[in-house]
Amino acid sequence: MSRAHDRGVTTLTLDAPARRNALSATLVAALADALAECGEDDGVRAVVLTHTGNTFSAGADLRDPPHPDALVGLLRRIVELPRPVVARVTGHVRAGGLGLLGACDIAVASHDADFALTEVRIGVAPAVISLPLLPRADPRALARYYLTGERFDAREAVRAGLLTAAGEDADAVLAPVLDGLRRSCPQALAETKRLLTARVLETFDRDAAELTALSARLFASPQAREGMTAFLERRDPAWVV
């Protein structure tokens, strides 16, 4: 992961394109630490979370998955950070990567980005990432994409509440957002974010333990082992009819 700073905005770039920026235990820890540093730096007005390569994040790294508690901690850190966090997406987003988008305050993408909640196809459920997604996204859209694992485009992601905005050029969409954040009072941004995230944090307080346990149980199940093995071997799992 790399870090850059320009006029009050720190950009954190997921930079493991060969691994499709999958959320490994190492990456989750590094991103959480970088966000903590941003939260303590008075020179940071806002944080942009983006990526190299054609994938924002492929979700959990099946070869080195983070513990569910660590993923909960990362998502909560984004939500609680006293700085707005803005996701910038120009590629594919899968599974746990959508949890990152849900935790961010604002998320923009290019029209060629695409999305899928693929957990059901490998034998698990979008458990932990539901903490930021369920309070923020359209319930009917989540029901469809949680249950089917279908791919959908950026326009549908905006309609479903998973993105704030999309356009041909993600940077053109992002520019007025960053200009507005740079013009805003840091104290006012922090308190306004607190208002906006109160209900999301209530979900974390109420459901995090249950969803963490669900995630751990499913990932340890025989069906999940079959699903993950099939994914890594590039074949259909046994349950496909």
Specify if 189 maps to a domain.
no
- pLDDT band, very low/low/confident/very high, at 223 (cuts 50, 70, 90): very high
Can you give the residue range of the structural domain that contains 131? Answer: 2-169
Task: Give the DSSP letter of residue 67.
Answer: P
List CB contacts of 195: < 8 A, sequence separation 6 or more: none
Token pair for residue 51?
A: 């990526």
Note the pTM of the prediction, 2 decimals: 0.96
Average pLDDT, integer, range 13-34: 96
Specify if 63 maps to a domain.
yes
Would you state the pLDDT for residue 62?
86
Q: From the candidates 40, 80, 119, 202, which is the catalytic residue?
A: 119
Q: Judge whether 119 counts as a catalytic residue.
A: yes
Specify if 164 maps to a domain.
yes
**Encoded amino acid at 11, one letter:** T
Per-residue model confidence as pLDDT tens digits over 5-19: 999 999 999 999 999
Specify if 190 maps to a domain.
no
CATH number of the domain to which 155 belongs: 3.90.226.10
Domain count, the chain: 1
Specify if 137 maps to a domain.
yes
For residue 173, report the phi and psi dihedrals to the nearest 5 degrees.
-70, -40
Average pLDDT, integer, range 224-240: 96
Per-residue model confidence as pLDDT tens digits over 90-110: 999 999 999 999 999 999 999
- pLDDT band, very low/low/confident/very high, at 65 (cuts 50, 70, 90): confident
